[in-house]
Amino acid sequence: MQPLEAFYEKKLTCIYCTKPFKTLRVRSRFSIPYQIDSDFCPNFRAGNYNPHFYFVNVCPECGFAFSEEFSDRFPISSKEIIRVQITENWTKRDFGQVRDIQQALEAYKLAILAGSLKKEKNAVLAGLCLRLAWLYRSENNSEQEKRFMGMALKAYEESFVLSDFTGTSMSELQVLFMIGELSRRLGQYAKAVSYFAKVIQHKDAKDKQKIVNMAREQWRVAKEEKHQETIQE
Ligand SMILES: [Zn+2]
């Protein structure tokens, strides 16, 4: 397979400095997962390209990194903080070519910093932390995977409290499910069970059978894991 066939170039404008730049995206037929984990992490065979490597856009001029989920609004004073903490320290680099795992990891870390400084929605920050955890999972680095799952969990909890998932790709049921599933993966079984129950008993549950069925299954798994843990103590 010719690697370049798998990609197309996308023209973007930096939402911070407004300069145009180009970045790559993976064509969907080159990124078909053979399996999807219970937290929606897609798994790709060797030779496939992981689109999550290209989820974050990094402006080569100023170093501001963002996903398509970022809003273009910046709270007052955040622009100055971003200038001091990101753009003044930036050495011009191009993330617009085929990325290796190190560049993909770095792009996410830049976007998590940029998004935090700009006070991006918790639901958006959670999605970045979750995808970064998935990249570490694909590298079998469970310590870093857990670290970023923990950050994603905290951000989804904040998002639920503030309802800031409104207007993003996440519904309330999906946010509740992710709190349950990330808690389970981090060994917080009682919390996992209570959040899966919130999905199952939700007022919108009857129209969303797919996620409700997943919550039922993961509720059962978390109960079993909680039980196993009690036996071992
Ligand atoms: Zn820029």
DSSP for 115-158, please give it. Answer: HHHTT--HHHHHHHHHHHHHHHHHTT-HHHHHHHHHHHHHHHHH
How far away, in angstroms, is 219 Cα from ligand 1 center? 44
pLDDT at 65: 98
Distance between Cα 3 and ligand 1 center (Å): 28
Evaluate if residue 46 carries a pLDDT over 90. no
Q: For residues 185 and 194, what is the distance between their CA atoms, to the nearest angstrom? A: 14
pLDDT attached to residue 1:
47
pLDDT at 2: 53
Q: How far is the CA of 144 from the centre of ligand 1 (A)?
A: 28
Q: 147-189 pLDDT, tens per residue?
A: 999 999 999 999 999 999 998 999 999 999 999 999 999 999 9
| 4, pLDDT greater than 90 | no
What is the pLDDT at residue 231? Answer: 86
For tokens 């976007």, what's the residue?
A: 111
Please state, in angstroms and rounded to a whole number, the distance separating the CA atoms of residues 5 and 154. 39
For ligand 1, the distance from its centroid to the CA atom of residue 105, given in whole angstroms, is 19
* pTM of the predicted model as reported, rounded to 2 decimal places: 0.95
Sign of CA dihedral 170, 164, 68, 86: negative
- Cα 76 to ligand 1 centroid, rounded to whole Å: 18
Handedness of CA 218, 223, 228, 230 (dihedral sign): positive
Do 179 and 153 form a contact (C-beta atoms < 8 A)? yes
Q: How far is the CA of 13 from the centre of ligand 1 (A)?
A: 8
Which range is least confidently modeled, 11-15, 26-30, 103-107?
26-30
What separation in Å is there between the alpha carbon of 33 and the centre of ligand 1? 32
Which tens digit of pLDDT belongs to each residue from 58-70? 999 999 999 999 9
Q: 3 pLDDT band (50/70/90 cuts)?
A: low
Q: Please list, in sequence order, all residues whose beta carbon lies within 8 angstroms of the beta carbon of residue 189, skipping any fewer than 6 positions away.
A: 183, 222, 223, 225, 226, 229
Ligand 1 centroid vs 65 CA: distance in angstroms?
A: 8
The mean predicted confidence, pLDDT, of the chain is 95
Q: What is the DSSP letter of 210?
A: H
Q: Which of 7, 107, 99 is nearest to 64 (CA)?
A: 107
Residues 97-144 pLDDT 10s: 999 999 999 999 999 999 999 999 999 999 999 999 999 999 999 999
